[in-house]
Chain A
Amino acid sequence: MYKNDSVLPFFGLLFAVALWMMAYFDGQHLAMLLGHAPEELSGGQIGLITFGAVFFIYGVMGYVSYWLEGEELRPGRHEASNSLWAGVAIVLLLILLVALAGVFTQTIIYWSTEGPVSTGFAGRLAGYILLDMAAILVVFKKYFVAEVVVAEDEHSEVPW
């Protein structure tokens, strides 16, 4: 709560892993050891995975914020450190994005014409596309967007 550090995001990720493991061992893994194929998640497992997902997103985003915005803000304009390698990384990520979008389109066409595709595969594909887009934005902001920090009057006229 003192500054934008990486301590709580670290614990966020730790909790995410712990909750995920609890959900995994709560039924799925044990059922498989017993020779059963569990067909659905229990309410408890859904709860554990849900909190795990929230902590995971929070933890990753906390680290992203720590990397992009730093621990403490200082008023003023801080120019971005333009980097050739960052530009190359963005181009590569864009090529990957086009490739993944192509595979996704083909998957949907296959699903429509030939029959169902594994939901796990389709979900992962959509997830990779979204992650790739997020990564492009992160790299672009870090290396090509100047950081402006303002110290606004707390009685500003926004929104009234």
Chain B
Amino acid sequence: MYRWFDERLSLSRFNKKFLNKAFAVHHSYFIGEIALFAFITLVITGIFLTFNYEPSIRTVKVAGKAVSAAYASVLYIDSLPFGRVLRSVHHWSASIMIAAAFIHLLRVLVSGAYKRPREINWFIGLLLLVVAIVTSFTGYSLPFDAFSATATSIGYGIGTSIPYVGEWISQIIFGGEFPTLHSIPRVYALHVLWFPLILMAILGMHMLVMVKQKHTQPNYARKVAPGRILGVPLMPQQAYMSTVLFLLYLAVVFFIAGAYIAHPIEVYGPPTASTPAVKPDWYLIWVYGILQIIPGDLKIPLPFGAVMNSEFIGSILVPGILGLAAVLLPFLDTRSTKMRYMELPTKHPVRTGVTFALLAFLITTTLAGWKQELGLSAGQLWFIILGSSLLTYLVVYYAIIFFWGRPSKEDAGAV
């Protein structure tokens, strides 16, 4: 049968060219693969969920209680054999995809893999992280329980805060002023069709560019095979490793998803008039934390009657500035040669220090999300956020200098 296909499609030629492709070997590459496998799991479990979910907030009766059809259909999914576990796997995979993509981004940052010629893939990776977060967020509203309705209304409010076009953008995404009858069908279409298609396209581009440009290799490869790609062929070695990783990923997620139902809608209940305000999911708590520590009545007037309010500044402007800095980062490197090998973080104390300071910033702004529970004032939290970020930078910078010495002139010149 193989020969039949081979005569028509020249499969052996394809195999020789593509399946022997060399893949560099380093454990840090697995982090990006974890994000990829989380996405594949999301698609597979998502297909199961779409078969049983009803994207509507029309009222139906469940055990004599009036609830939305969306909420009732998620209760139905939870009642199916293994249904609750699969829905939980979907939820955990969304979280893991974002976390893995973020750690992958940090790995690329500390190893200098964003430099020439891989700037394009750095931009694509940043876009991928943003779209993954937005896709995950749109999934929140779908069960239409108390938690998701309030969390989504916060997102709607953030969207409307964008000067000039915010109202327009939010109404396109949510089919009018959230929640309307059109909100759930509109967000559903975005969550199960358009955003996954966009994610697939960006992921495809990311991997295509990676295959073309190759990984930055571990440093020892410089001695073993200078100027060449030292690695194992896609088939069978790399395929074995990737399959083991996928199985291990699924095993861990099934363990966790079975033990902890991440979004138990039976506990949250349907939305009511007295539903309390909730915190967003973990990957947006740092934004919520910034909103907690800037004055709520902050308003900066703009031309033509528009204003930048605190919601816009905290949740769009500050993350936007960080994103812009990330986009501009590769341009700080002015090398004319091709970057072939991973750089050691210990030879770049400034860059490593800034990366850890960024982490300290994200962790402390996340903590600020618990401002009321911690009983701290906005001023105290600002002091903690800025102080810990600065202190982290200094500690990491001087620790590297102390333990590994000052970098050479050549290394010190590169960011």
Contact = CB atoms under 8 A, between A and B. Distances in A.
Interface of A: 1-4, 8-9, 39-41, 43-44, 46-51, 53-54, 56-58, 60-62, 64-66, 68-69, 72-75, 108, 111-112, 116-117, 119-124, 126-128, 130-131, 133-134, 137-138, 141, 145, 147-154, 156-160
B406 interface: no
Contact of B256 (A53, A68, A154, A158): A53
B130 interface: no
Nearest to A137: B244
B228 interface: yes
Interface in B76-101: 79, 81-82, 84-85, 88, 92, 95-96, 98-100
A47 B228 contact: no
Interface stretch (B46-54, B219-227, B396-404): B219-227
B225 A43 contact: no
Contacts, number: 236
- Chain B binding surface SS class: helix
Given A43-B281, A120-B258, A123-B257, A57 B247 contact: no
B12 to A, nearest CB: 16
Interface string B240-260: 110111011111111111111
B88 A149 contact: no
A53 B97 CA distance: 11
Contacts of B66: none
A43 B254 contact: no
19 contacts: A1-B26, A3-B218, A40-B267, A43-B280, A46-B281, A46-B282, A47-B366, A49-B256, A53-B96, A53-B252, A54-B96, A54-B103, A73-B230, A121-B258, A123-B257, A126-B251, A138-B244, A151-B230, A156-B22
B237 A154 contact: no
Nearest to A44: B282
Contacts of B281: 43, 46-47
Contacts of A141: 237, 240-241, 244
A75 to B, nearest CB: 6
